[in-house]
Amino acid sequence: MKAFIINKYNKKGSLQYADMPIPKLKDNDILVEVHAAGINLLDSKIKSGEFKLILPYKLPLILGHDAAGVVVQAGKNVKKFKIGDQVYARPADHRIGTFAEFIAIDEKDAALKPKNISMEEAASIPLAALTAWQVLIERAQIKAGQKVFIQAGSGGVGTLAIQLAKHLGAVAASTTSAKNFDLLKDLGTDIVIDYQNSDFENILSDYDVVLNSQDQKTLEKSLKILKPGGKLISISGPPTPDFAKEIGTPWFIKIILSLVSSGIRKKARNKNVEYSFLFMKADGQQLSKITALIEADIIKPVIDKIFPFDKTNEALSYVESGRAKGKVVVKIK
């Protein structure tokens, strides 16, 4: 099968278009013929080696964390799916590889594709929607009337997190550039801030939750807008010792993560705010609940561009540029 791979970690290098063997199925796996794959900044970070300490992959590696396609084979223990089912998934860490014609996915990590959207739209959903779900529902346990600040609202995670926050009854504030104001208003955002001309920390106050996806400076500014007992949840780091424990890293990684996150954890404690790092996990059950929200027209995919499969490098470069509104997808079949 054709696939886009990396042979070594490289910040500036391109993915290689290569012939790779079709994955072998384990007993609980489905083999999915990939019709479309979503592009994520995580793909770029893995390519550059940024996560090699906490996600030590064996190379060569097929990249890609979002897929929509059709089940063409099923392992002997598979009960949820049958051949011909249209599915979508964010495969588990160490099982990634959606930039390919086929991928083997554990059935517990997949869900039936929403009936009311295309394969390309479905491929844009899993990683971003699961991130929003795990931040807002699992970690923050958002309740109606609470105030949530979602940074970079026009991005892949932002567009879905805003819709989910509004569905939960929260007040949602977000940052974007002026050209994306209408998009964010259409998604239901209550307060839209032009980050190029305004400082959010001078506008917002007494917030219950911040979803941080930006740099260290923005992370520290976010502390200023939270009320005592508020939650600062970062998906862009720095990772914490709790996260190291959760994923079972060696002792020396725990020490490194303790050091890199000590500054923000101390500042959060001084403000009586809870800081945590979230690295989203594959979860087919949660994805099924997201399917129900999509089929009820509560959550809608937001896609900027669809690239052909042979332009996967261009698609990744476009995501790296930070200009995308919503998600970028490659069409494989």
What pLDDT score was predicted for residue 138?
98
Q: DSSP letter string over 220-266?
A: HHHHTTEEEEEEEEESSS---HHHHHHHT--HHHHHHHHHHHHHHHH
Same-fold call for 2-125+301-331 versus 127-277: no
- CATH homologous superfamily, domain 127-277: NAD(P)-binding Rossmann-like Domain (3.40.50.720)
In the chain, where are the structural domains located? 2-125+301-331, 127-277
Query: What pLDDT does 64 receive?
Result: 98
Q: For the beta carbon of residue 94, count every other beta carbon within 10 angstroms.
A: 11
Q: Per residue in 150-178, pLDDT tens?
A: 999 999 999 999 999 999 999 999 999 99
254-297 pLDDT, tens digit each: 999 999 999 999 999 999 999 999 999 999 999 999 999 999 99
What confidence category does residue 81 fall into, taking pLDDT thresholds of 50, 70 and 90?
A: very high
Query: Which tens digit of pLDDT belongs to each residue from 29-73?
Result: 999 999 999 999 999 999 999 999 889 899 999 999 999 999 999
pLDDT attached to residue 287: 98
What is the per-residue pLDDT across 101-144, written as a single tens digit (0 to 9) for each?
A: 999 999 999 999 999 999 999 999 999 999 999 999 999 999 99
CATH of 2-125+301-331, one of 3.30.70.360, 3.40.190.10, 3.90.180.10, 3.30.70.1020: 3.90.180.10
Query: What is the value of pTM for the model shown?
Result: 0.98
